Chain A
Amino acid sequence: MRWFAHITLIGGFAFSVTAADLKPVTEILTACCLDCHDAETRKGGIDLSKLLSEKNLNEPKIMALWEKVDKMVREGEMPPKKNDSLTPNQKAQVAKWYQSTYVLKDGREHIGQTPLRRLSRYELINSLEDLLHLSLKQPYVFSSEVPALLPSTLETILPPDAPGESGFHNDAEQLADSEPPILKYSQAFEYALHTFAQDSEARGKVFGFKEAPANLADITAKKILQRFMNRAWRGYRNADNERVVWHTYQRQRKDKPPVPSLLHAMKIAMLSPAFVYRIEAAKDHGTPYRVSAHELASRLSYFLWASMPDSELFTLAESGELLEESVLSAQIDRLLNSPKRLSLAEDFAGQWLGFSEIASNRIFYRNENWNRGVYDEVLFFFDELIKSDRSILDIIDSDWLYQSNYTGVRTDGPVHSFPLKHADIFKWRRQRPKGIRERFYDPPRLIKIKSDQRGGIITSVGILRATSAPEKTNPVRRGVWMLDKIIGRTMHAPENIPALSKSKKVNGKQLVDLADILKAHTSKAICISCHKHIDPIGLGLESFDPYGKWRTRYKNKRPVKAVGQFPNGDKFQTPKQMKQILISDYQEPIVKNITERMFTYAIGRKIQPCDQPTVKRIYATLKQNEFKMNTLIREIITSPQFQNRQDTP
């Protein structure tokens, strides 16, 4: 009954640390870093004197600090002054120590401990739909009375998930630490089975008969349940657990007809941890070993569909063929061609980029068509990256986009030669439930554009709205959003902010332009370190009002100046130019960030130092393959973390 409860921690997810000789590195730290970063000076709040001892290498704080040191040294950000830079040899020594201590295990690559994953609410609802051949999700109905997207009945029963350290709801550790809501599961499954019992189509698929028989041979019942358990447990076999379900059926049969008895046994099978968790056979090995075909099938379908494997995938897992490279490759293609791939746009991108808020957060509600149109534009855009295997850098800028008629923003361009290409994803959520009138809705269309104003997700109405107050834009919020979500640089709000308004006068001269005010404001060293990254991007987006409309003047008639300069000196005059600089100068961090986000979502845990080699490899492959989205997806699926298990860190 403790659906909001939260109980004790799991000890499991630490890293293994086999410390290499620390001495050469401590010498470098002492000579080159401690002047500013000792316990007393603590410049920027960083105290590196804690790193001089070999004790506590396992502590999360120490690990995080070392990670920072490694990154800063690798990227040449520290030491800050050119003439104090570390020599290549010193850099190599720091890198080597970090690699052998945190990244590698006994000198070899490894994948960290594989966590046990419980289904997130999103995954659970999808799985129930597929398992029972039902439509249980709410079609996209925005309601002015909620006001947001209507929740489905299952969403009103099952409690929401909190995002974990990975940033996603499917975070294994977060789900492991929160108590599974058994009572709510029971209620949700009862509802799902109740719906199932009334649906002859669905019954036919699971039972093999549509009309309830007065009697059922035990052998037939056993077959039905066996097949159901195999599917529900995604190929995980456990004879004892199967016996529990079978005995349940037999007990029910004593005073109940066959169908209610089957339904009851099915509920028991669904309440088994084998359904709610994705259990994998563990060998208790500390080094990576390949998962079974069924386990791979599950990993694959939960990554690409956020749901259980379908019958084809299940069959290929049963025969073991899925473990063959060519078969796996063909299956990836097939899964990505299925409309179910929409989960990647909806669940993965919706959380990562935060545009799901347009659908679910009432502060963004305007009217049904506007919200639907704005949301669909971003959703379809992301899906298009997968569907047509486009470059992930199209997120920054593209010569195509999905355009809705309802957003109040229009970009000219010919409609794509496949105007209804999106029909596959649109169709399956078109039907409304009984009692809700179908309204005419024109979905966004794919258009080819030649526009200096538009292109990419970052200038979509959805993102521009989500990062603004209703009546004014906030360049800092937009800049921080870009750095965090797109470039992967997490910013912390400063604890001690000098006033923006106090910077309005410089040398007695009143400043009126926002760009100048920001510049004056951020002339202090402590501000510059962050604002040099934030401001150019935020200012570069000033040409768009809070609702994403292009503007050349503010409401007070002053001209908009979307001009700026990046820390490396590159200047831009328009948003288009800014985006081009992002693509050329920030390519590596952007691509690595997108890689890490998707990788994290796929494996259900936050990125760890041991993942560095994989991310590096994926980046290299992407670079050779025009940063294609499906190359990224394939590389994640074929990565050691995705293909293997490891039981101790």
Chain B
Amino acid sequence: MSKKSYLIPRRTFLRGIGAALALPSLEIMSPALSYAKTAPVKKALRMAVLFKGAGVNPSSWDITGATEINFELSKLLSPLEKNKSDIVLLRNIEGSGKGGGHESATVNFMTGQLRKSRLIQRHSFDQIIADHVGKNTPVKSLQLRSDTYLDGNDPAENFLSYGKDGKALPVEDKPEIVFNHLFKGFHNSGFRQRTKSVLDEVKESYAAIVRKASNQDKQVLEQYLQSVRDVERDIEQFTTQNNPVRDARLREIRPVPATNNLAGRTRAMLELIALAFWTDMTRVSTLIMAHTESRSTFEFLGINDELHMLSHFVRTRNRSAGLSGYDKINHWYIQQFAQFIDRLKSLKDADGSVFDNSAILFGSGIKHGDYHSVTDLPLVLAGGGGGKILPGRYVDYPNVPNGNLHLKLMDIMGVQREQFGNSTGLLTGISEKANLAPKYVDDGSWKIVKESGNKIQLKGMLKISVKADDLNLYLVQLSNKQQIEIRPSFGNVHSLRLDACVGSVVELTGEFNVKDGRKNITKVSHCKRL
């Protein structure tokens, strides 16, 4: 690629913002990379988290009657049809606690724990990985958002990544700025040279100031020196490591077009992650595609209601876009995810494609959009993980904590830890076939245990109705193939967290009536997962 071809797309990219942006000294944009032809790129692993908060409608998401290698995609997952062999569908991985509010969903998703306090979270797993692998790249990790900032009560909701001390890391929401951060400045040898030449003096300045500083200020200033050293090391690495593959790729970078709507912005952010991974600018990235309390509207899908409102679909199903709108939006997000997979596959890398060397986690911090259950989180893992992920499978776990998944992702990325959050061990069945025995074997004991007056006690498999127009209907499957319907009130489901027991064998007591000769449970007083 010639120098010219690099410069033209820059204008294309900026066209959207007009001539308003006077560019900082133009030469920063032109590549002046080393052309050395030695040392091929070593296989680098990448990890991305795509957070699509606000849960799903379980009836539209869940896959039924599947085995590990034989599964049909559900309505919501259907955009992944041609990517079936690229993904591992994860079932029954769960977060901490009994079910969360909006604000704990992100934290729970990233740390497998509830937060420490309103503002202080725990070290998120992506950052633990970044602490290790980020040293090798110019940018330690990328924190992005394609949804809009929530100026709400709760700051934690706006962030996915938290540093060692639990403080949120800033999130960038403008693709054009992310592009500048990634691909302007650092790659210009002139700029590198000029920056390098001042660092010694900056260190002298630092020393002069620290000599006179108070002890407590010294602690803060220490960060300054640390940052100078990081820049020094990055420049050193970037300049001395002959990396013709990377340099060639950088010359091919096409600026990401800026568009003004949510769809364009989401695609731009995903493209930036792809490019950053491909050029090895960073190996870790998180993207908030939708907040749990997202205020985004989806005019391009014909939906003017806020996603958060729609996500409470049991209660808002009769209003405007209702449940169909909610499903439509989630379907659209899966489409974006599928396109991202295809994009990564199209980018060649050592031993195959960038996709083969990546681990991409897509999911939400809650399951049921209205009940906010944290069991059986909607999660899809994609990528080859450098050979450490065996894709093309559907794995239904026996209710394992999401900390195990975090540990596994860390493990794939080369970070070994004993414990994380709610973890009980390393998640198995990712690098190799899970071969899990069927979780619940109907041993003939699923039946009505007791009955007196209008009280009933029974044991069986709890299911949620898949009928779209009957959203608050639950069923208990008995050994004799009979299904007892449960129509509890919303408050009943919510207070018992009944939703969290779906998919498990339960012992349930409640009140019932008889209609058309069939028993219907109207109120649940107790439900225990066995």
Interface residues of A (CB under 8 A from B): 1-12, 60-61, 64, 113, 115-116, 118, 138, 141, 143-147, 150-151, 153, 155-157, 159-165, 167, 174, 176-184, 186-187, 190-191, 194-195, 238, 240-241, 243-245, 248, 264, 267-268, 271-274, 276-277, 279, 281-282, 284, 354, 357, 360-363, 433-436, 466, 469-471, 480, 484, 490-502, 647-648
Contact = CB atoms under 8 A, between A and B. Distances in A.
A116 B216 contact: yes
A271 to B, nearest CB: 5
A12 B17 contact: no
B340 to A, nearest CB: 20
Contact of A480 (B140, B153, B259): B153
A272 B230 contact: no
Contact of A182 (B24, B99, B224): B224
Contact of B21 (A156, A281, A490): A156
Contact of B23 (A145, A153, A186): A153
Interface of B: 16-25, 28, 99-104, 117-119, 127, 134, 138-143, 148-149, 151, 153-155, 159, 163-165, 167-172, 174, 176-177, 180-181, 185-186, 191, 194-195, 198, 201-202, 204-209, 211-217, 219-221, 223-224, 226-228, 230-231, 234-235, 258-260, 295-297, 304-306, 309, 314-315, 320, 372, 489-491, 494-495
B315 A145 contact: no
Nearest to B214: A282
Given A1-B186, A5-B140, A362 B223 contact: no
Contact of B19 (A147, A264, A361, A436): A436
A279 B217 contact: yes
A502 B169 contact: no
A180 B24 contact: no
Nearest to A6: B163
Nearest to A354: B151
9 contacts: A1-B138, A145-B16, A146-B260, A176-B223, A179-B226, A271-B205, A284-B215, A492-B103, A493-B154
Contact of A156 (B127, B180, B306, B314): B180
Given A274-B205, A490-B153, A499-B489, 18 more contacts: A6-B169, A7-B223, A9-B165, A116-B216, A138-B20, A155-B177, A156-B177, A159-B181, A160-B172, A177-B167, A182-B230, A183-B231, A187-B191, A190-B191, A195-B22, A273-B224, A492-B118, A495-B101
A9 to B, nearest CB: 4
A284 B16 contact: no
Nearest to A356: B151
A155 B295 CA distance: 25
Contacts of A277: 220-221, 224
Contacts of B176: 156
A143 B163 contact: no
Nearest to B142: A4
A362 B16 contact: no
Name, among B155, B209, B258, the residue most crowded by chain A CB atoms within 10 Å (CB to CB). Answer: B209
B168 A162 contact: yes
A12 B223 CA distance: 14
A436 B18 contact: yes
B191 A143 contact: no
A181 B227 CA distance: 7
A241 B208 contact: yes
B227 A284 contact: no
Given A271-B205, A276-B224, A497 B18 contact: no
B194 to A, nearest CB: 7
Contact of A238 (B23, B172, B212): B212
Contacts of A138: 20
B208 A183 contact: no
B170 A4 contact: yes
B117 A116 contact: no
A10 B170 contact: no
A272 B221 CA distance: 11
B142 to A, nearest CB: 6
A165 B102 CA distance: 19
Contacts of A2: 134, 139-140, 227, 230
Given A2-B227, A177-B167, A268 B18 contact: no
Contact of A484 (B153, B205, B314): B153
A177 B169 contact: no
Given A6-B127, A12-B219, A273 B205 contact: yes
Contacts of A7: 163-164, 223, 226
Name, among A138, A141, A179, A357, the residue most crowded by chain B CB atoms within 10 Å (CB to CB). Answer: A179
A240 B208 contact: yes
